[in-house]
Amino acid sequence: MCVVGAGVIGSLYAAHLARICEVSVLVRRTEHALALEAEGLRVSGKHEFLASVQATADPARLPDFDLGIVATKATDLEAAAARLAGRSPGATVMTIQNGLGAEEIVRAHGPWPLISAVTFMSGVRHGDTHVEYELDTETWMGPYASELPFERVDEARALLERGGLRARAFADLRPAQWSKLIFNAAVNPVAALTDLPHVGQFAELARSSDLGHLVGGLVEEGKRVAAAAGVELHEDPWEMNVHAVRRGQTAAAEGAYAHVPSMLEDVRSRRPTEIEFITGALVREAGRHGVPVPLHTALLQLVKARESGW
Amino acid sequence: MRVCIVGCGAVGSLFAAHLAQLADVEVWAFDLDSAHVAAINRDGLRISGAAELVGRLRATTDPAKLPACDFGIVAVKSMHTSAAVAAAAEAFRDGAVCSVQNGAGNEELIAEHVQSVIRGTTFPAGHVIGPGHVGWDTKGDTHLGPFEPSPASAEQVRELADACTRGGMPTHALADARGAQWRKLIFNAASNAIGALTGLTHGRIAELPETRELAWAVMREGRAVADAQGIVLDLDPEELFDFAARREVAYDHRPSMLQDVEARRQTEIDFLNGAIAGFGERYGVETPLNRALAELVKGLEWRWTQ
């Protein structure tokens, strides 16, 4: 079992899976690998435990694995996949990145059969060896390009569940993947540009200037692209938005914070965002199918312009 | 002639100090900043930068102290228009009141409180340096015309424009000032909202392909709304955009809405992109981009306006 990348999501997979099998983590920094091997990986929040993992920053020292999970941000995926090239050619590899296009990037670097996945888990990193598990929501997974028997996907799902995570296997992930894509494209750039976490404003429609109109317009454009691409959505992204906002309001009432979408975190820390993989991917799909998406195009332009400032 | 400036910030002060140079004009200023008012009454109103001058005028924080005036020049930020004009309306019972504010929609608010209204658009810009002292950054022309639903007479428009010009602020009296107003509105709506959301200077907005394309699309919507109202733009807002982006003009200028957002002040978004969207709705023109920008800036403000 190998996890590439130990940010929030990678750490959550690695720690939970380490409870049931041997896990090695491939990270970029040597001191990160040393710290993980010395101190283990601590999970707090929804679950509380300390996991023991192997870790290395050198791909050549990675032991053979049956299942690899590439859990870097989409912006780091190309580099991560290149480092994995030549390792465990018989393994199944799972991509978990936001947006579209992760599978093609990994495919270019190795022959592994691929599992497409999206996750709604979230958490907060408190240093190299401690992750707080915030939202214990599902990972959705399915075979990529129907080259992989569904049973292999279901085995991976069972593994995640035995480790204590929630997961669901689909024969065709695209409906779920696109639901999440449209949800992310409607929420993340708006959060990044307004500096607002995913609060009630995102679903507010009472006044004509309320933000819910923009989010709703973005969802509508996204749904038209999905329809043109022949994808029947698994869930209505607007309902996902309303649901997530309500969950955030309940959390706020209990003293927790509303969820800060990763793109807002990126903008606040002046890191490159995943805008090209989320909104950019949707705009490119729209172009391929001749669907006008003026709102998504405007948000892509604004976020890219924002990034150009640093 | 007696003129009262309502809101003696940077732009109001430029008009006040220049008009005060004229022997035949008595200038008053109504402003809520008591330190500024006291300094003006004590030392006069000083302008420095593009020109150096001191205007002698009477300033007050109390609208009840204002005498009957022939003209009012409203220069408060747009979100304060209603409150400021309502407070001073008695002084303008027989006079005409002119807006020199940003955006569209101010004349409509002024007309709720006074009879005769002048539509105005001004390009000069400045900044407050301290009490009684304003820096003049950019020179430029002012265009005045009657506000059609509740108009001042052509004679009144001409009289005010003439006084401003003689005082040193070149001002044109027009039969229809909407073309100048909408040119500036369309330009401002694109530059300000994009600046506020991206943190970029005007020059960067004009040269970066992403923002340039967006700005041009936002201006196309504004043009369509102007067209639907039968407004003929006096000049192209796109040309103004590129002109302002020159190194020697305003390449490094941080749009005022960006400055507002950085200082966590309320912005004039309702009178810029919000006004374009509002007029668009009234005249049956879709303005999805201006609407989106207005909602995003409102979202940005939400944190400190709640």
Q: What is the pLDDT of residues B287-302, one digit of tens each?
A: 999 999 999 999 999 9
Write out the two tokens for B284. 């049956």
- Residue B144's nearest CA partner among B135, B132, B155 is B155
Who's near B152: CB < 8 A, 6+ residues apart?
B96, B97, B98, B116, B117, B118, B146
Who's near B83: CB < 8 A, 6+ residues apart?
none
Q: Is the pTM of this model over 0.90?
A: yes
Task: Give the right CATH number for A2-169 from 3.30.530.20, 3.20.20.60, 3.40.50.300, 3.40.50.720.
Answer: 3.40.50.720
Who's near B44: CB < 8 A, 6+ residues apart?
B54, B55, B56, B57, B132
**C-alpha to C-alpha distance for B251 and A167, rounded to whole angstroms:** 52
Residue B54 contacts A, CB cutoff 8 Å: no
Residue A197 contacts B, CB cutoff 8 Å: no
pLDDT grade for A45, boundaries at 50, 70 and 90: very high
The tokens 């029947």 sit on which residue?
A: A232
Could you read off the pLDDT of A200-218 as tens digits, one per residue? 999 999 998 899 999 999 9
Assess whether pLDDT exceeds 70 at residue A151: yes
- The stretches of chain B forming alpha helices (DSSP H) are 10-19, 34-43, 81-88, 106-110, 154-167, 178-198, 202-207, 209-228, 237-244, 256-262, 273-282, 288-305
**C-alpha to C-alpha distance for B306 and B302, rounded to whole angstroms:** 6
The dihedral built from the CA positions of residue B64, B66, B70 and B73, taken in this order, carries a sign that is negative
3-state secondary structure of A62: coil
Tell me the average pLDDT across B100-117.
Answer: 97
Q: Using a pLDDT cut of 70, give the percent of chain A over it.
A: 98
Residue A289 contacts B, CB cutoff 8 Å: no
* Residue among B197, B288, B294 whose CB faces A295 most closely: B288
Question: B303 to chain A: which residues are within 8 Å by CB?
Answer: 195-196
Residue of B216, B281, B296 to mutate when probing chain A, most A C-beta within 10 A:
B296
**C-alpha to C-alpha distance for A204 and A189, rounded to whole angstroms:** 17
Phi, psi of A295 (to 5 degrees): -70, -45
- Residue A180's nearest CA partner among A214, A151, A142 is A142
Assess whether pLDDT exceeds 70 at residue A114: yes
**C-alpha to C-alpha distance for B75 and A122, rounded to whole angstroms:** 49
Who's near A130: CB < 8 A, 6+ residues apart?
A41, A42, A43, A44
Does B184 participate in catalysis according to the annotation? Answer: yes
The tokens 């001058």 sit on which residue?
A: B53
> Taking a C-beta distance cutoff of 8 angstroms, is the pair A123, A179 a contact?
no
Assess whether pLDDT exceeds 70 at residue B72: yes
Closest Cα in chain A, distance from residue B238 (Å): 18
**C-alpha to C-alpha distance for B31 and B28, rounded to whole angstroms:** 10
pLDDT grade for A251, boundaries at 50, 70 and 90: confident
* Residue among B197, B299, B303 whose CB faces A302 most closely: B197
> Taking a C-beta distance cutoff of 8 angstroms, is the pair A299, B188 a contact?
no
Q: Tell me if A211 and B299 make a contact (CB, 8 A cut-off).
A: yes
Determine the pLDDT at residue A278: 98
- Residue A193's nearest CA partner among B257, B297, B255, B201 is B297
Assess whether pLDDT exceeds 70 at residue A175: yes
Tell me the average pLDDT across B174-200.
Answer: 97
Closest chain A CA to residue B200: A309
**C-alpha to C-alpha distance for A32 and A128, rounded to whole angstroms:** 6
**C-alpha to C-alpha distance for A127 and B199, rounded to whole angstroms:** 30
C-alpha distances in Å from residue A229, one per residue of A100, A141, A223, A224, B143:
13, 20, 10, 9, 52
Superfamily of domain A174-308: N-(1-d-carboxylethyl)-l-norvaline Dehydrogenase; domain 2 (1.10.1040.10)
Assess whether pLDDT exceeds 70 at residue A256: no
Q: Using a pLDDT cut of 70, give the percent of chain B over it.
A: 100
**C-alpha to C-alpha distance for A169 and A180, rounded to whole angstroms:** 15
Assess whether pLDDT exceeds 90 at residue A84: yes
Assess whether pLDDT exceeds 80 at residue A252: no
> Taking a C-beta distance cutoff of 8 angstroms, is the pair B152, B8 a contact?
no
Closest Cα in chain B, distance from residue A307 (Å): 8
Determine the pLDDT at residue B237: 98
**C-alpha to C-alpha distance for B269 and A103, rounded to whole angstroms:** 42
Determine the pLDDT at residue B57: 98
Q: Which residues of B113-149 are buried (b: 16+ CB within 10 A; e: fewer)?
A: bbebbbbbbbbbbbeeeeebbbbbeeeeebbbbbbee
Assess whether pLDDT exceeds 70 at residue A190: yes
ipTM above 0.95, yes or no: no
Domains by residue range for chain B, with CATH = 2-173 (3.40.50.720), 178-305 (1.10.1040.10)
Rounded mean pLDDT of chain B?
Answer: 96
Write out the two tokens for A100. 């579209």
Could you read off the pLDDT of B210-269 as tens digits, one per residue? 999 999 999 999 999 999 999 999 999 999 999 999 999 889 989 989 989 999 999 999
Q: Tell me if A194 and B296 make a contact (CB, 8 A cut-off).
A: yes
Tell me the average pLDDT across A182-193.
Answer: 98
> Taking a C-beta distance cutoff of 8 angstroms, is the pair A287, B199 a contact?
no
Determine the pLDDT at residue A147: 75
Who's near B77: CB < 8 A, 6+ residues apart?
B7, B9, B101, B266, B268
Assess whether pLDDT exceeds 80 at residue A98: yes
pLDDT grade for B304, boundaries at 50, 70 and 90: confident
Determine the pLDDT at residue A17: 98
Determine the pLDDT at residue B191: 97
Question: B197 to chain A: which residues are within 8 Å by CB?
Answer: 193, 302, 306
pLDDT grade for B178, boundaries at 50, 70 and 90: very high
**C-alpha to C-alpha distance for A96 and A119, rounded to whole angstroms:** 7
- The stretches of chain A forming alpha helices (DSSP H) are 8-17, 30-39, 77-84, 102-107, 150-162, 174-194, 211-228, 237-253, 262-268, 279-289, 294-308
Which helix (DSSP H) or strand (DSSP E) does residue A95 occupy? strand A92-95
> Taking a C-beta distance cutoff of 8 angstroms, is the pair B38, B131 a contact?
yes
Q: How much of chain A is in helix, strand and coil states, percent to nearest 5?
A: 50, 15, 35
**C-alpha to C-alpha distance for A174 and B149, rounded to whole angstroms:** 56
Determine the pLDDT at residue A257: 63
- Choosing from B65, B139, B184, B298, which is the catalytic residue? B184
Determine the pLDDT at residue B86: 98
Radius of gyration over alpha carbons of chain B, in Å?
A: 18
Assess whether pLDDT exceeds 70 at residue A255: no
Tell me the average pLDDT across B108-132.
Answer: 96
**C-alpha to C-alpha distance for A96 and A7, rounded to whole angstroms:** 12
- Domain locations along chain A: 2-169, 174-308
Determine the pLDDT at residue A145: 82
